Amino acid sequence: MSEAPLPASRAASLPLIASELALDFTNSVADRGGPQHAEYLHSGSDIILWAHHAQLLSDDDRDGALALVGADEALGSLLLAEAHALRETIYEIGAALARRETPREEDRAALTAFHARCLGKARLSASNDSFAWTWEPRTALIEAVLGPIALSALSMLTQQDLARVKRCEGEHCGWLIFDTTKNRRRRWCEMEVCGNRAKIRAFRARKLEAT
């Protein structure tokens, strides 16, 4: 559809390692509120590129959505604002679960309200042997991009073992993960990133002690 080159964005290559879509979406910020705080979603286009990266939009839908926000700056700004709001709501819920606390009522209510709004624009479409909520990005862009993420959060909250929600123990990380391992021993977002850094720190500390 579009021959224009895709905008370069970290959003299109962020690791998707949480094992739950909704938690992967919260992991588009690093070291949230900390000294190495980094935001990876800066525009409506970034949100669309992330959604395509997470397989929520086809190539055609991504190109169509990019054209929509390219032609309508207000729509892009609204998409970004709604995406950040949903993301921080899910993050607050996930971080509370990782601390083994009950998520705040106001966050649960915000997630429910956003989901209800998205469902108002959804269709129940045949998918293999069952049905799935689907959205038409050309007429309901914000709901098409964010609806599946809100649904993922609610499905996790209502159907999953929430003791498996954890926060990566890596320094300056804070990413949320859903531990699907049999022995529930997962500690890191990515072993090659936070796990190895922690090992190197522990090794150096032991070496210092020995000298």
Tokens of 186: 């997962």
Cβ closer to Zn ion: 17 or 96?
A: 17
DSSP string of 7-72, one letter each residue: PP-GGGG----SSSHHHHHHTTEESTTSTT-EE---SHHHHHHHHHHTTSS-HHHHHHHHHHHHH-
Could you give the dihedral angle defined by the CA atoms of residues 192, 189, 169 and 157, in that order, rounded to the nearest 10 degrees? -170
173 has which bridge partners?
none
- Closest approach, Cβ 27 to Zn ion, in A, equals 9
The residues binding Zn ion (CB under 5 A) are 168, 170, 173, 175, 189, 194
Phi, psi of 123, rounded to the nearest 5 degrees: -120, 150
Query: What is the smallest separation between the CB atom of 172 and Zn ion, expressed in angstroms?
Result: 9
* Residue 55 φ/ψ, nearest 5 degrees: 65, 30
Q: How far is the CB of 24 from Zn ion (least distance, A)?
A: 13
**Of the two residues 66 and 176, which places its CB atom closer to Zn ion in the complex?**
176
User: Cβ of residue 182: shortest distance to Zn ion, in angstroms?
Assistant: 21
At closest approach, how far in Å is the CB of 32 from Zn ion?
12
Q: Residue 81 and residue 94: Cα distance in Å, rounded?
A: 20
